[in-house]
Structure 1
Amino acid sequence: MALSDENHRVGDQSTRPRPLIVVMGVSGVGKTTVARLLADRLDLPYAEADDFHPAANIAKMTAGIPLDDADRAPWLRALAGWLHERGEAGTGGVVTCSALKRHYRDTLRAGCPDAYFLHLDGSRELVADRLALRTGHFMPPSLLDSQYALLEPLQPDEHGAVVELGTHTPHELVELAVTLLRPVNGDLD
């Protein structure tokens, strides 16, 4: 049975792939808040990267010990697997991940070449103030400097954009993200 031409119109929402978005940045920029709101706004599955950490990683961070690349490798592969599964299923998805280094993002892209990286960025002072107010998270504010030291900004050949936190509310950040995604994914409303 052949599909009619009307089922293959350019821009037809039913044939356009759903976006796969990694909300990235240092601890305290609001990845979880923005990612949840963005997933709700776009009706996409959501995953929190912290849920993919093995217990040993959480114990290290809770003790104020920064993770090294060997600690992060299985975590990043698990996240890449989640993105890959959402891509294969055609559901799209939004996941949080610090994704501080280029090769971390490369690991995520290995599982999902079309991943879009939304880098939430803010000054060290702003983020430190936000971390000081945060409760109930295993990542202590003392590790913020180690995260900024690792941070490698998105490169021009990487699929994504940087959004400055500034004075934007989380809802405003989500609308900025949707605006940035439109040229890539068309009308998302």
Structure 2
Amino acid sequence: MLYYATTQLNRLTIYMPLRTLQYFLFITAYFFIYSLAQADSLREYHQRQCNEGEQESCQKAQAMLQGEQLADRIVELGDNFASSVNRLKREENNKPILKDAYVDVLDNYFESSNKKGSGQASSNEVITLCGEHFHDYWRNRKMWWPTNDKGKPDWSTIYYYIVDHYYGYCLELMKL
């Protein structure tokens, strides 16, 4: 009888932590899967809050939607630019000549923006200085740049970065 009780006790001590571990793993997996199913973007969150009547969220959702549309437009323009870029003129040993491309990209961007009725071009001197800064930053400091699967410069992504650099760095620099 004592042997039976000891065996049962040993099984119980092994069985209890194992059962607890199973419950813990099940609950953790459940919450992890549930949280993945509930994930949405910040814009969708603000849109949902807007639908519930929160005005500030309406403004944020609208601004985010405009930003997404602008980003999609820049990606499309970048793809068009990448398909028509003169690689012999804009690359040297598979390295992009970013200071020259900077001017071309912004000319292309402002030309398409002016067709849509919204564009903002700065003086050529400022754009040239910004192009030199961009070139120096990517080629000399970072020592890498976006490339495609073949190891050649990815002009579509570079286009996006140039427009982002112009609005994020150059225009802010001109305000100083």
TM (norm. structure 1) is 0.26
Compare the two structures and name the one with the higher strand fraction: 1
Q: Which has the higher contact order (CA 8 A, sep 6+)?
A: 1
Compare the two structures and name the one with the higher helix fraction: 2
Considering only CA atoms, is the larger Rg found in Structure 1 or Structure 2?
2
